[in-house]
Amino acid sequence: MHSYDLTGWATLLAAEVGAAAALTGLLFVAISINLTRILANPILPSRAIDALCKLSNVLLIATVGLVPGIPERVFGWVALAIGFLAWLVPTHLQYRQLRQGSADWNWREHKDWIITRAVMTQLATLPFLAMAVSLELGVGGGLYWLVPGVLFSFLGGMYGAWILLVEILR
């Protein structure tokens, strides 16, 4: 069955590795061009980490999926570890930012932005965790969870790159 057999996914995984690498490179350029502005803003450094987590999550998971002969269950465990870190880091940063706030940044004024960012983080990372659990249990969709995970990770990563490259200049 395709949802639990990595051999049929090699072409998609290879395409995702290339796309994730290109987008991660774009993000690094955006960060390096605007590093002074990013560091001067209390919320943008975590925004950069958030976008990097989303894109590197896809890059690492897809790369591991391309290892010849890797058992699907091993792939699932590795994807679970990578996906958990990609979920934990931005979620922790967002939570800490909400709790701390600052004199320069009032979360109530940015409530829509915070909710959008938090929802996008969950949409980008939880499908990879669902995929890992599904591969271990052998039920629930298996590798098909890659598709929404990749799509939301790319959307979130590109949006983050846009903020750090273009919107920061406004």
pLDDT in tens, 18-58: 999 999 998 998 899 989 999 988 778 888 999 999 999 99
Q: CB neighbours (10 Å) of residue 53?
A: 24
Residue 92: Cβ-neighbour burial (10 angstroms; 0-12, 13-18, 19+) = exposed
Instruction: Convert the pLDDT of each residue in 46-103 to its tens digit.
Output: 889 999 999 999 999 999 999 999 998 899 999 999 999 999 999 998 888 777 765 5
Print the domain residue range for 116: 2-169
Q: Is the pLDDT of residue 104 over 60?
A: no
With tokens 């590798």, the residue in question is 143
pTM: 0.88
What's the pLDDT band for 107 if we cut at 50, 70, 90?
A: low
The dihedral over CA atoms of 98, 102, 108, 111, expressed in degrees to the nearest 10, equals: -50
pLDDT of residue 47: 87
pLDDT of residue 85: 95
pLDDT of residue 162: 87
For 47, the enclosing helix (H) or strand (E) is helix 44-65
pLDDT of residue 160: 87
Do residues 23 and 93 lie in contact, with contact meaning Cβ atoms separated by under 8 Å? no
The dihedral over CA atoms of 79, 81, 84, 85, expressed in degrees to the nearest 10, equals: -110
What is the domain count for the chain? 1
**DSSP letter string over 102-126?**
-SS--GGGGHHHHHHHHHHHHHHHH
